[in-house]
Amino acid sequence: MSSIASRVALVTGATGFIGAHLTSRLVRDGWDVHLLVRPGSDLTPLAEVWEQVRSHSHDGTTGGLLSIMEAVAPDVVFHLASLFIAEHRPADIERMIESNLLFATQLSESMVNCGVWRLVNTGTSWQHYESREYSPVNLYAATKQAFEAILRYYVESTQLRAVTLKLFDTYGPGDRRPKLFRLLRQLAAQSEPLAMSPGEQLIDLVHVDDVVEAFLLAAEMLFNGEVDGNEDYAVTSGSPISLKALVAQYSSLLGRDLPITWGGRPYRSREVMVPWHLGPTLPGWQPRVPLGDGLLGIIAEVTGHSDR
């Protein structure tokens, strides 16, 4: 098996929250890291490692991706690129299919044509509404399942082997996504109350450092020949917390009450009240960052204080 120093990784979605953290970790660990990016991508999240990685601009064509794959010849591909939209509109359909299905299929096709046999894919717990074997919470989750159906063809007809990591809610430093903690940061600076749902839905939060460890461990399984076909694993904290309790803990650590009107708006359609809990966890992986420590970290990032 090759040493880490000689391993070559191709990362998609490297400009996203998790992708940027994974890329930085790969660089620190001595990998030869290549990034597959779209023209005009915002590269700000990669500022600290940009000079230590090599980027390749994808023109959207299968032929273009084949050329990149042949030139890079990665030992493993980490596929994190996707378009997430919680509640889509008709105008979103083309972009979602292009990002989550067409591109992912082009990636698989280019891999098998270039003899690249290791893929760490990214799925979502939202493929399992009410913990069913398959029931998509939204169209985004349906596109993730659709790609897994396509991926099955490639792993059954070629030497391609894949691990799909199904992620839950993620958080940590450097998160620019318009999600809960960004909303709470904005809310702390205003006095006007914000209407939220009753807040009884359970949130399964996993720190980004733990998520990155899961990706690295999945790659090791592939290098060690421990994967048969495409294997799915849940990257879960195992300790979900209600939204209301989570906000209360965040507020306590922040040292101020947040103006929230609980029950001021209804739950959205197909709200996940209890996260999927039937998926197998990655062998040898467990979350290591306690929620309290993780919350203190993101609060300190904003306030500049780490003594609370």
* Partners of 54 in beta bridges: 34
Identify the DSSP state of 99.
Answer: I
pLDDT tens-digit map of 49-90: 999 999 999 999 999 999 999 999 999 999 999 999 999 999
Domain 4-171+205-235, second-level architecture: 3-Layer(aba) Sandwich (3.40)
Give the Cβ contact number of residue 183 at 10 Å: 14
Least confident of 25-29, 36-40, 143-147, 282-286: 36-40
pLDDT tens-digit map of 143-170: 999 999 999 999 999 999 999 999 999 9
Strands 194-196 and 202-203 come out as unpaired
CATH class of 180-203+238-276+289-303: alpha beta
Q: What is the mean pLDDT of residues 125-152?
A: 98
Q: Is the dihedral of CA 173, 175, 176, 181 positive or negative?
A: negative
Give the type of residue at 110: S
What share of the chain in percent tops pLDDT 90? 89
Closest CA to 118 of 68, 152, 169, 76: 76
Strands 32-37 and 8-12 come out as parallel
Give dist(CA 296, CA 308) in Å, integer. 7
The domain ranges of the chain are 4-171+205-235, 180-203+238-276+289-303
**What's the predicted TM-score (pTM) here?**
0.95
pLDDT tens-digit map of 226-280: 999 999 999 999 999 999 999 999 999 999 999 999 999 999 999 999 999 999 9
